Structure 1
Amino acid sequence: MTILMEDEQELDIGFDYENVLRQVIEKALELEKCPYECEVNVTFTDNEGIRNINREFRELDVPTDVLSFPMVDYEAPADYGILESDDALAMYFNPESGELLLGDIVISVERAFEQAENYGHSIKREMCFLTAHSMLHLLGYDHMEDEERIVMEKKQEEILNALGIKRDC
């Protein structure tokens, strides 16, 4: 498992976020029964940084809390069958490590602090929630329809509960 974390802000978030977010990523993969060693990139930025990325890639000129850039074009969420094709090795796996290239997560730490305060929980809980949410996107989940949203919300809570990360943390 390779998790590359880049902190553009060099902020003191107040907890060992690299270790804790690694646990969230690993738990998401475990609960979604991912059979591969994976590579995930996580970037921490501010509202302006994520706004620029949002504008460039989604044509939305607003800041957001988290962006997910999945590498795999799943036919259904966490359906790893697409990775068994002849072309999958060249398309989805790192040729040097053999790991599945899941994708990128970009978190606005500034927005995470704002949301933690608004929701009345810790920055740790908010960062873990955003990471779990984004990991599900990297595994093919979405929340555009109510049915999808309900499934995704349940899975986010399963990941956080499995790690003992509650709303009041």
Structure 2
Amino acid sequence: MTILVENEVNRELDFDYEEVIEAVINKTLETENCPYETEVNVLLTGNGEIHTANKEFRGIDRPTDVLSFPMVDYDYPSDFSYVEANPESYINPETDELLLGDIMISVDKVYEQADEYGHSKKREFAFLIAHSMLHLLGYDHIDEAERKVMEVKQEAILDALGITRNGG
């Protein structure tokens, strides 16, 4: 697996964020039975930069906590039939890894939301990675039923890693 992490902010996180990224990505892929080695890019940025991206890509003129840019087409979440049918479109020929997509996280929002929800920055950060990974695997939360499915999966991933609201 290849995880490329770029940190363009000067704000310190009080935990090993690269370790958390790897653990959450691995647990999500395991939970979703991904049959491929994968490549994921993670950009840590601030509110200004994510605001610009949110406006450009989603037409929403405000900062957000996380943006996901999936590279795979899905009929339904974690259905890799498009990859199997068209590996040349989804597999990096140099590494034989599935190009899953990109994650953009506002570290400013990690701080804000950890305070707002009363849990650690590590827990908030891990939650955003799990949330975004589910998007990269084809999940969405456009309606209430989809939102609940994602919510349950996110909590299960974090619980399996021992990253709970009160414990980590």
TM-score bucket (shorter structure): over 0.9
Kindly report which structure 2 residues correspond to 1:1-169, keeping only aligned pairs within 5 A, or say none.
1-85=1-85, 88-168=86-166, 169=168
Which sits farther off after the overlay, 8-17 or 99-108?
8-17
> Is the Cα contact below 8 Å between 2:41 and 2:101 reproduced in 1?
yes
User: Offset of 1:61 from its aligned partner?
Assistant: 1.3
| 1:35-84 CA distance string (max 9 Å, x none) | 00000000000000100111111111110000000000111000111211
Residue 141 of structure 2 aligns with an amino acid whose one-letter code is H
SS of the aligned residue for 2:95 comes to coil
* Separation (CA, whole Å) in 2 of partners of 1:11 and 1:111: 11
1:82-104 Cα offsets, whole Å, 9 max, x none, are: 2111xx22211111101000000
Q: Please give the alpha-carbon distance, in whole angstroms, between the structure 2 residues aligned to 1:53 and 1:90.
A: 28
The 10-residue stretch of structure 1 (73-82 or 122-131) with the greater mean CA deviation from structure 2? 73-82
CA drift of 1:11 comes to: 2.6
With structure 1 as the length reference, what TM-score do the two structures score?
0.97
The CA RMSD over aligned residues, in Å, is 0.7
Structure 1 moving runs of 4+ over 3 Å: none
Tell me the distance in 2 between the aligned counterparts of 1:104 and 1:10: 21
Q: How many residues align?
A: 167
- Cα distance in 1 for residues equivalent to 2:113 and 2:75: 32
Q: Is the 8 A contact 2:83 2:89 kept in 1?
A: no
**Structure 1 stretches of 5 or more lacking a match?**
none
- Taking structure 2 as the reference length, what is the TM-score of the superposition? 0.97
